[in-house]
Structure 1
Amino acid sequence: MTKTRQPLYYHPYLFIITLLSIAISSCSERFAHTVQQVPPPAEVSAADFSNYKDSTIYVAAGPHYGRSRLHTFFYGKHYRDVWTLPVEVPVLDIGTAHGGLTPMKLGGSRQTINLRLQDTTGTEYVLRSIDKEPASALPEKWQQSYVANIVRDATSATHPYAALTLPAMAEALGMYYVEPELVYVPHDVHLGEFMAPMGGTVALLERRPTGDQTDYAPMGRAVKVKSTRSALAERLTDNDTYFDARFYLRARLLDMLIGDWSRHEDNWRWAEIEHDENAYTYKAVPRDRDNIFYRLNDGPIPWLFMQLDFKPHFQTFRSKLKNVEKLNSSGRNLDELILAELEWQDWEEVADSVQRLMTDEVIEKGFQTMPDNIAALSAPDMTAKLKSRRNQLLQAASKYYNALAANVQVVGTDKKERFEVEVVSEEEVRVRMFKIKREEGTEQQLYFRTFRASETDEIRLYGLNGKDQFYISGSTKPGIRIKIWGGAGEDNYQVEAKGSKLGKRIYINDTLYRNEFNVDKYTAVDIDNNQRAKDFDAAGWLLRYYLD
């Protein structure tokens, strides 16, 4: 059969590429961008700009998002009415705020202007610009193009004051959190070398989640708050350390409620709680809530973008809580590690608790923290949607639990562990992991979970480094595949089949180097002397994550 060649515009990918090519070829200075709401004065002097205490300013977060009817029709209404509405904002007096702040360094992503500051006690704060500049991530030759202009315009799909609503909700749920404070950063001489990038900007000022927080209840008065890289490295190298999975799940369920699709590893910090000498529990501190209550799919061009599934985790905040697997894709790596120990009963209990604590009053209190005229404009619709999503939380939690339960990773450390797998029946498999004493006995149970074939297709055990032991027993062939990667170290494998063909569902991957295999004839042993770094040890496992 002869195929008819379709016109270019029938193919959405080629059509968009063509439009981009045309746009890029017409680069122009017309589309210069800034995250500053107020341009600098002709001259700044210490005499004129010395005290801003108790001052306020009326300013719109993004007047440039006010576009023509034609543009809005094609690209979406988004939150343009919110961005273009002037609000009363307190002026930050850097010399007196929090006892006096000293600017230290610029940081953050290329899209957000961040400025770190320090008070007289050494406590760090951060200023994060409300407006974003995503076009700065484009190649330099594109940054003055029409494409850059459209990429920048997509920021109007975010709500500039959304993060202000969360502390009241997080506190009600018993979570840790940061407290953003809406401020206007003037062209203040106290900014020094940072006046040009930061002066004239509406920003969120918040305590930086790092270091000693013993005087700060919202972060659990933790002696130390660590980055994800540091917490993961501790967890993967030391089997006395673990993440508080139920506490983390509470935060992830709130993410689903508010539609936060950007929960990658760098958007978390971890309160370090010592539960034994040199042994720690890590409790989640969410940060960077830039993409909650997202409103994207309200114009033909954003709709087409969504149909291409180029960024499947971009989800419009609607009354119906759905597509949770896509919504959570940026946080999937952490979810698979931290939530692997929780069974459905745990999820059900935590989801029920979140649902009960997230009362109508708590939701309404959260939205009252927005500027009054913004709350009047946004709160009725957004609170109604959030209440609706809360009522669907148990069903959404069940869907995401089932997505994670299909293939589960049980990850050891670079220390010695003993993995015990008991095939109870074709339907049920129990997995335990123990810390091994130096004298080769076993002591503390590190992991226990019962898996069911109705939920789980495959269990994956990773020993990482250390002299690990894997003991599999049972009298029947399981309905769940059991795959084992021993990693580095001298490992021991034992399959006790008890007269069954147990090994037909067991797959072992390791090197020949000083590993001992006492398995039945059905067990598949894959000798691989060139193992992937990601399966080998703690340092390799860290390659799986997006880390700063």
Structure 2
Amino acid sequence: MRLSHFVSPSAAATALGGVLLLASCSAPAAPAGSPPVIGPDSTVRVAAGPQYMRGPIHRFFWGKHYRRVWAVPVEAPVFNLGTAVPGGLKPLQEGGSFQTKNLRLLAPNGVQYVLRSVDKDATKALPEGMRDGVIGRLMKDQTSVINPYGAYIVAPLAAAAGVYHTNPRLVYVGDDPALGEFRQSFANALYLFEERPEGDQRAVSSFGRSAKVESSRKVFTNLVYNPRHRVDARWYLRARLFDMWLGDWSRREDQWRWAGFPAAGGATVYRAIPRDRDHAFFKFDDGLLTHIIGWVKSNYQSFHQKIRLADVEGLNRAARPLDKSLLVYLTAQDFQQVADSMQRSLSDQVIRNALAVWPKEVYAEAGAEFDKNLRGRRDQFGAVAARFYELLAQEIEIPGTDQPERFIIEPTGPGMVRVSHFSLHAGRPDSLVGQRTFDYRQTRSIKVFGLGGNDVFELRGLPDHRLTVGIYDGAGQDIVELKSVAGQADRPTNVVVYDSGDGNTISVAKPVKVESYVPAATEFDAAGWLLRHRLF
């Protein structure tokens, strides 16, 4: 069930960016630290975090951040679990990360929703005894680096960019008895209410109307155990460039869900659904001490008018394992085409329309700044995509699966080598999984990991010595052979076969080195590759 199913048509249009504003009069703003008075009109006026307003000395050292946005009162509808959807919502379980508090809710038709706290508390990552000390207070204060209303503008921007997205609305949860055992923890606070991207989502267009939305752990398990499953790499790249545009640097594996779609031969194609935009529009470096920390922690990048191309690596550090696995077969041309498409889609008018869904008080504080920054960063899509490609192309890792596969490695010209990855099938032709040609001017090393299954590695000639090629056999009894080396025996090469000694057949010419090794857990089989992605 979509969120528009339980608001009026006019309110649904307003809610597109995640904000539901009611035109009726609201209760007066409450003093800081007190719940607002809930009147019969079922709206309240409340600030998300007035406690983040601090004096000038504190702001000088620890930053202005979004303190004024946190402190401004906005109007929000009171959330009623009994009437939010037909039949009401039942609280299921509490969850969330180290910062965000979540409450999962179940509708009578089996669809799940979630309440995500607007205010955050990073001190949950600290030992309990430190949470109320100096470090704990500073960590809690730095919640102000997040724009509490940033998620609202993400939805319309993502829709324009062709990226799947949730549809959050701002709600106020009062002291509702329907919260049951969660009443004490969740009452009297602002939340984002949105669909939970899981299971059958055929009713939700912003999830692609997929009948099967799954977690990263489930999807990556499917990917590494069976080559019939694959991720739509260009779709994922579009989502990643969108992340960079928003300045969202926290894109680790659990920040994603995946919309599955059936393909030929019983295969499944997955498309990325980004979730949890807590670190989008991050503003960190506007205090003396936070500025210094930002230079040391290059992933803590602030949302400015320009993306620092020199720090694109830091901006994407959390997602690097995902990027290296899922984008390995895309070319520089693919990156540029996706970037150009997104730049055309995100016009000035699209940006203005997205910002218009903010409460007028929030727009007054941050609207002009966001308009300028989003337009400036949009104009960098091409340069950022090129830099992103360059970083990923330097050291290539090509993973197999736990099924039998064939990897063909062949020179295609001076300094060039092509890697082709096939899935093996008994009684029928091999099927191509992926293929890409690498250039020594961009790529230093290529590592091919067979993982499980009885794999075949074919070297059709000796790659240029300016490219280092490593073949890692993994589990299973594999075949590694060098074909067609006439006239190349004295040619220098940097190809190494890493033999774990588990019954492989290796037939290679002398220029190719064979080294015994003990495989690391993260390169031996499918389970190890999941460990590499923090999913095992």
TM-score, length-normalised on structure 1? 0.89
Q: Counterpart of 1:245 in structure 2: which amino acid?
A: A
Aligned: 1:281 with 2:269: yes
Q: Name the CA distance, whole Å, in 1 between partners of 2:465 and 2:440.
A: 8
Q: Name the CA distance, whole Å, in 1 between partners of 2:463 and 2:181.
A: 71
Q: Residue 63 of structure 2 aligns with which residue?
A: 76
Q: Residue 390 of structure 2 aligns with which residue?
A: 402
After the TM superposition, which parts of structure 1 deviate over 4 Å for at least 4 consecutive aligned residues?
36-41
**Secondary structure class of the residue paired with 2:243:** helix
Give the count of matched residue pairs.
Answer: 501
Q: Residue 122 of structure 1 aligns with which residue?
A: 110
Q: Name the CA distance, whole Å, in 1 between partners of 2:391 and 2:321.
A: 13
**Secondary structure class of the residue paired with 2:85:** helix
Q: Name the CA distance, whole Å, in 2 between partners of 1:511 and 1:147.
A: 47
Q: Residue 91 of structure 2 aligns with which residue?
A: 103
Q: Name the CA distance, whole Å, in 2 between partners of 1:336 and 1:87.
A: 42
Which runs of structure 2 are paired with 1:145-544 in the superposition (5 Å)? 145-307=133-295, 309=296, 311-322=297-308, 323-439=311-427, 442-474=429-461, 477-496=464-483, 497-500=485-488, 501=490, 504-528=493-517, 530-544=518-532
CA contact (8 A) 1:414 1:466 kept: yes
Q: Counterpart of 1:294 in structure 2: which amino acid?
A: F
CA contact (8 A) 1:426 1:478 kept: no
Q: Name the CA distance, whole Å, in 1 between partners of 2:534 and 2:506.
A: 35
CA contact (8 A) 2:202 2:208 kept: yes
Q: Residue 78 of structure 2 aligns with which residue?
A: 91
Seen in structure 2, the aligned counterparts of structure 1 residues 191 and 486 have a Cα distance that, compared at 3 Å, is same
Seen in structure 2, the aligned counterparts of structure 1 residues 482 and 503 have a Cα distance that, compared at 3 Å, is farther
* Deviations, residues 272-331 of structure 1 (Å, cap 9, x unaligned): 111135311110000000011111111111122223x1x321101111111111100000
CA contact (8 A) 2:416 2:464 kept: no
* Deviations, residues 155-178 of structure 1 (Å, cap 9, x unaligned): 101100001101111111222111
Q: Name the CA distance, whole Å, in 1 between partners of 2:439 and 2:373.
A: 35
**Secondary structure class of the residue paired with 1:97:** coil
CA contact (8 A) 2:89 2:106 kept: yes
Q: Name the CA distance, whole Å, in 1 between partners of 2:466 and 2:413.
A: 8
Q: Name the CA distance, whole Å, in 2 between partners of 1:312 and 1:187.
A: 42
**Secondary structure class of the residue paired with 1:98:** coil
**Secondary structure class of the residue paired with 1:466:** coil
Q: Residue 27 of structure 1 aligns with which residue?
A: none
TM-score, length-normalised on structure 2? 0.90
**Secondary structure class of the residue paired with 2:420:** strand
* Deviations, residues 403-458 of structure 1 (Å, cap 9, x unaligned): 0000111111000110011112232111111111124x642111111111111111
**Secondary structure class of the residue paired with 1:111:** coil
Identical residues among aligned pairs (%):
40
Seen in structure 2, the aligned counterparts of structure 1 residues 54 and 223 have a Cα distance that, compared at 3 Å, is farther
Q: Name the CA distance, whole Å, in 1 between partners of 2:486 and 2:331.
A: 28
**Secondary structure class of the residue paired with 1:385:** helix
Seen in structure 2, the aligned counterparts of structure 1 residues 174 and 329 have a Cα distance that, compared at 3 Å, is same
Q: Residue 66 of structure 1 aligns with which residue?
A: 53
CA contact (8 A) 2:463 2:495 kept: no
CA contact (8 A) 1:225 1:272 kept: yes
CA contact (8 A) 2:462 2:493 kept: no
CA contact (8 A) 1:60 1:87 kept: yes
Q: Counterpart of 2:500 in structure 1: which amino acid?
A: T
- Choose 538-547 or 412-421, whichever is displaced more: 538-547
Shift of 1:485: 0.5
Seen in structure 2, the aligned counterparts of structure 1 residues 414 and 468 have a Cα distance that, compared at 3 Å, is same
* Deviations, residues 31-78 of structure 1 (Å, cap 9, x unaligned): xxxxx976569xxxxxx99xx896110100001001112111221111
Seen in structure 2, the aligned counterparts of structure 1 residues 118 and 39 have a Cα distance that, compared at 3 Å, is farther
Q: Residue 13 of structure 2 aligns with which residue?
A: none
Q: Residue 12 of structure 2 aligns with which residue?
A: none
CA contact (8 A) 1:53 1:93 kept: no
Seen in structure 2, the aligned counterparts of structure 1 residues 354 and 54 have a Cα distance that, compared at 3 Å, is farther
- Choose 102-111 or 495-504, whichever is displaced more: 495-504
Q: Name the CA distance, whole Å, in 2 between partners of 1:216 and 1:125.
A: 12
Q: Counterpart of 1:65 in structure 2: which amino acid?
A: Y
Shift of 1:547: 3.4
Seen in structure 2, the aligned counterparts of structure 1 residues 129 and 94 have a Cα distance that, compared at 3 Å, is same
* Deviations, residues 344-400 of structure 1 (Å, cap 9, x unaligned): 010010000011101111111111222121012211111111100110111111111
- Choose 360-369 or 212-221, whichever is displaced more: 360-369
Q: Name the CA distance, whole Å, in 2 between partners of 1:146 and 1:245.
A: 45
CA contact (8 A) 1:125 1:205 kept: yes
Q: Name the CA distance, whole Å, in 1 between partners of 2:98 and 2:459.
A: 50
Q: Name the CA distance, whole Å, in 1 between partners of 2:364 and 2:120.
A: 24
Q: Name the CA distance, whole Å, in 2 between partners of 1:139 and 1:357.
A: 46
